[in-house]
């Protein structure tokens, strides 16, 4: 029997919410930038990496460890 690690699962979901919030916030600011395309490419990369890490955290938390 494996035991789920709820702290890692919750932290993964929180990280997804933070990444989406960061992306939305930067999307509203991008119009005032001197190069909005480059800004959003960088922001999209950072948000994508954060979501990827959080998905891995959720999967590891769901797999859990042996009791």
pLDDT bucket at 66, cuts 50 / 70 / 90:
confident
Structure tokens at 38: 């480059």
User: What 3-state class would DSSP assign to 47?
Assistant: helix
Alpha-carbon dihedral of residues 31, 34, 37, 43, nearest 10 degrees? -80
Contact 3, 63 (CB under 8 A): no
Q: Given a cut of 90, is residue 1 above it in pLDDT?
A: no
- Report the pLDDT value the prediction gives residue 30, as an integer from 0 to 100: 92
pLDDT tens figures, 16-64: 999 999 999 999 999 999 999 999 999 999 999 999 999 999 999 999 9
- Report the pLDDT value the prediction gives residue 11, as an integer from 0 to 100: 97
- Report the pLDDT value the prediction gives residue 67, as an integer from 0 to 100: 83
């Amino acid at each position: 029997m494996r035991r789920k690690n709820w702290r890692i699962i919750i932290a993964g979901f929180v990280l997804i919410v933070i990444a989406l919030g960061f992306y939305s916030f930067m999307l509203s600011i991008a119009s005032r930038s001197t190069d909005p395309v480059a800004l959003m490419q960088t922001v999209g990369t950072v948000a994508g990496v954060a979501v990827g890490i959080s998905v891995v955290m959720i999967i590891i938390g769901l797999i859990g460890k042996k009791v």
